[in-house]
């Protein structure tokens, strides 16, 4: 087994596979300790996975900060909760990636994984349309399965041709820094005030993390003077700036200004994607790491089951369907949470209603922890009640609420349309392949019926006029370009019997060879797409 990428998705997965008795090679181009642009909150469900694989004690001993108190402030709404009283088995934790990711990689080595850092994967090995290993520089590493846990710019996804769907635009940038001297009180604060959103809380080594997220419209002005802009952003939340007053900044302001949300095709023959490589969502609800850990745990079981029953591909397809179902609602909820500021009287009222009820506030936290789906909390009844309250208490807000409703309906219909690709293209290409075979052969039969078996006469007719010669040359050049592209394409992502398109073009025509190749390629790409048996 080869796992490419050794952070939150790759290293724990490699550990879990090794713990299930498999031989695993973990490759990462980075050398650890290594920084990556991300804040640090791991939701309780992710902490549970770290506990189950035996790494939690070490992580806590190395100074991860438990987060036992939660505040969410949105214009007009304030939710407060503590994790006492059995809300979660573990509290969230926070630890800088510089420290955490090294512990994860070390944990994999202790579990018996062959860890190779400073090793960049540049290619995949293929056999009959199946990935059979990875190429890292001069080294070729054979494997029954290659896991791409190599993040948003995944090389494995690129080489395997995994396509993206459910795209969500970036609507904010993230800017954060650390402070020394804040009392470590285990208090995580999320805020949405005016144009800005915030994530703030203690992390390891006595540091305090404060992130502020301005909307994309302010990107250029923010980046033009990030120090001053960051300071102004913190000052705009008095509760946070009060907490930081008299403390000392440690290190620069870090900025993440370039990302978008997506899903990628989860698996194919001999490969599978885990963590950000397969799915990235707006970081506002701070779930990416816990997602990577949860996905890894389930994937390790699926891979073990696949080898046990002798049908790895079917088990990976099932896992891919689970991943999509598990992540879809939260993907869009995260996009809404990080959306650019707009007037949202209805959403504000819904949050006020949730904040006013202790049990609903706890359900909000359980939703962030992936225990209940957003649709179970934001039910039509709750929305209708909130709308009635706005209409009764603030009739002046009615036009804005109407606009908000129209926007939500438009957004929902766009999101429904963003389903994983279906088989329409494949069917269209098959139809064109059949037509491309039948039509030229009919023409040949007609000619034979009229002229008898006169091959020389048939071909000489191609050049009887300048326009017909032009057409023949046009097709010949197009066929040569097609062959060149086919050769490049199958080097990148080969599939079984791709070569038949070449005799098909010579014997029947480009109108047959071209759609035939595209149809076979489409089938190979989507054989393992989610939702397909």
Ligand X SMILES: Cc1cc2nc3c(=O)[nH]c(=O)nc-3n(C[C@H](O)[C@H](O)[C@H](O)COP(=O)(O)OP(=O)(O)OC[C@H]3O[C@@H](n4cnc5c(N)ncnc54)[C@H](O)[C@@H]3O)c2cc1C
- Tokens encoding 38: 């991300």
- Max Cα separation, the chain? 99
CB 472 within 8 A of CB 453: no
* Between 37 and 223, CB nearer to ligand X: 37
**Residue with Cβ nearer ligand X (37 or 490):** 37
74, β-bridge pairs:
77, 192
Exposure string over 127-152, b if 16+ CB within 10 A, otherwise e: eebbbbbbebeeeebebbbbbbbbbb
**Which residues in this chain contact ligand X in the complex, by CB under 6 A?**
4-10, 27-30, 36-42, 120-121, 149-151, 155, 174, 256, 259, 275-277, 283, 286-290, 292
Q: Which two tokens stand for residue 95?
A: 């630890």
**Given the complex with ligand X, which of 30 and 428 has the nearer CB atom?**
30
Quote the least distance from Cβ 38 to ligand X, whole Å. 3
Q: What does the block give as tokens for 383?
A: 């929305």
Closest residue to ligand X, Cβ-based? 288
Q: In this complex, which beta carbon is closest to ligand X, that of residue 283 or of residue 374?
A: 283
CB nearer to ligand X: give 52 or 120.
120
Counting other chains too, the contacts that 124-132 makes at CB distance below 8 Å and 24 or more residues apart are 124/156, 124/159, 124/160, 124/271, 126/493, 126/494, 128/496, 129/269, 129/494, 129/495, 129/496, 129/524, 130/269, 130/270, 131/160, 131/268, 131/269, 131/270, 131/271, 132/270
Both tokens of 253, joined, read 């302001």
Q: Least CB distance from residue 120 to ligand X, whole Å?
A: 4
The angle at the Cα of 453, spanning 451 to 454, to the nearest 5 degrees, equals 75
- From the CB of 280, what's the least distance to ligand X, in Å? 7
Minimal distance, residue 150 CB to ligand X, in Å: 4
Comparing CB distances to ligand X, the nearer of 120 and 321 is 120
Which DSSP state fits 341?
Answer: P
Q: Cβ closer to ligand X: 27 or 346?
A: 27
Q: Taking the complex as a whole, how short is the minimal distance between the CB of residue 243 and ligand X, in angstroms?
A: 18
> Which CB, 124 or 355, lies closer to ligand X?
124
Per-residue DSSP letter, 63: T
Q: How many CB atoms lie within 10 A of CB 432?
A: 17
Q: For Cα atoms 140, 144, 148, give the angle at the middle one, nearest 5 degrees.
A: 75
What residues are paired with 164 via a beta bridge? Answer: 264
Shortest distance (Å) from residue 149 CB to ligand X:
5
To ligand X, the closest distance from the beta carbon of 101 in angstroms equals 7
Nearest to ligand X of 174, 512 (CB atom): 174
Terminal CA-to-CA distance of the chain, rounded, Å? 24
Residue 477 burial (CB count, 10 A): 10
Whole-number Å distance between alpha carbons of 177 and 386 = 37
| Cβ at position 484, least distance to ligand X in Å | 27
Distant-in-sequence, close-in-space partners of 286: CB < 8 Å, separation ≥ 6: 39, 41, 43, 199, 368
Shortest approach of ligand X to residue 337 CB, angstroms?
A: 12
Nearer of residues 277 and 516 to ligand X, judged by Cβ: 277
Shortest distance (Å) from residue 66 CB to ligand X:
15
């Amino acid at each position: 087994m080869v796992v490419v990428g050794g952070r939150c998705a790759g290293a724990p997965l490699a550990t879990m596979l090794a713990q299930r008795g498999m031989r695993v090679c973990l490759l990462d181009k980075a050398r650890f300790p290594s920084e990556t642009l991300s804040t640090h909150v791991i939701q309780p469900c992710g902490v549970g996975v770290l506990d189950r694989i035996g790494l939690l004690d070490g992580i806590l001993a190395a100074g991860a900060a438990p987060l036992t108190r939660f505040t969410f402030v949105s214009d007009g709404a304030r939710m407060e909760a503590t994790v006492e009283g059995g809300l979660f088995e573990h509290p969230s934790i926070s630890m800088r990636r510089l420290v955490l990711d090294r512990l994860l990689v070390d944990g994999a080595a202790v579990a018996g994984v062959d860890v190779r850092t400073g090793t960049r994967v540049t290619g995949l090995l293929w056999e009959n349309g199946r990935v059979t290993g990875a190429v890292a520089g001069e080294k070729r590493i054979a494997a029954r399965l290659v896991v791409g846990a190599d993040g948003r710019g995944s090389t494995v996804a690129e080489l395997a041709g995994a396509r993206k769907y459910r795209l969500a635009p970036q609507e904010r940038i993230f800017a954060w820094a650390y402070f020394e001297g804040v009392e470590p009180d285990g208090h995580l604060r999320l805020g949405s005030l005016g144009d800005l959103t915030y994530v703030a809380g203690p992390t390891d080594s006595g540091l305090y993390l404060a992130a502020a997220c301005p909307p994309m419209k302010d990107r250029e002005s923010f980046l033009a003077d990030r120090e001053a802009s960051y300071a102004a952003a913190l000052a705009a939340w008095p509760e946070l700036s009060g907490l930081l007053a008299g403390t000392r900044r440690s290190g620069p302001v870090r900025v993440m200004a370039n990302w978008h949300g997506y899903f990628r095709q989860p698996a194919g023959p001999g490969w599978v994607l885990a963590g950000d490589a397969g799915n990235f969502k707006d970081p506002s609800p701070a779930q990416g790491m816990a997602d990577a850990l949860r996905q890894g745990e389930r994937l390790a079981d699926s891979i073990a089951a696949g080898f046990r029953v002798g049908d790895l591909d079917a088990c990976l397809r099932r896992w891919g369907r689970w991943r999509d179902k598990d992540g879809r609602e939260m993907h869009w909820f995260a996009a809404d949470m990080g959306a650019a500021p707009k007037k949202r009287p209805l959403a504000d009222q819904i949050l006020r209603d949730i904040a006013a009820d202790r049990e609903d506030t706890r359900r909000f936290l359980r939703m962030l922890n992936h225990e209940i789906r957003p649709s179970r909390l934001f039910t039509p009844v709750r929305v209708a009640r909130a709308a009635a309250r706005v209409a009764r208490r603030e009739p002046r807000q009615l036009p804005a609420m109407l606009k908000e409703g129209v926007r939500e309906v438009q957004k929902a219909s766009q999101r429904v349309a963003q389903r994983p690709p279906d088989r329409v293209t494949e069917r269209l290409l098959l139809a064109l392949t059949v037509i491309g075979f039948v039509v030229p052969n009919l023409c040949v039969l007609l000619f034979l019926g009229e002229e008898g078996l006169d091959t020389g006469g048939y071909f000489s007719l191609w050049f009887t006029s300048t326009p017909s010669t032009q057409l023949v040359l046009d097709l010949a050049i197009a066929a040569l370009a097609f062959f060149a592209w086919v050769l490049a394409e199958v080097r990148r992502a080969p599939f079984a019997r791709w070569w038949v398109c070449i005799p098909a073009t010579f014997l029947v025509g480009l109108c047959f060879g071209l759609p035939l190749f595209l149809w076979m390629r489409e089938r190979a790409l989507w054989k393992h797409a989610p939702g397909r048996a």
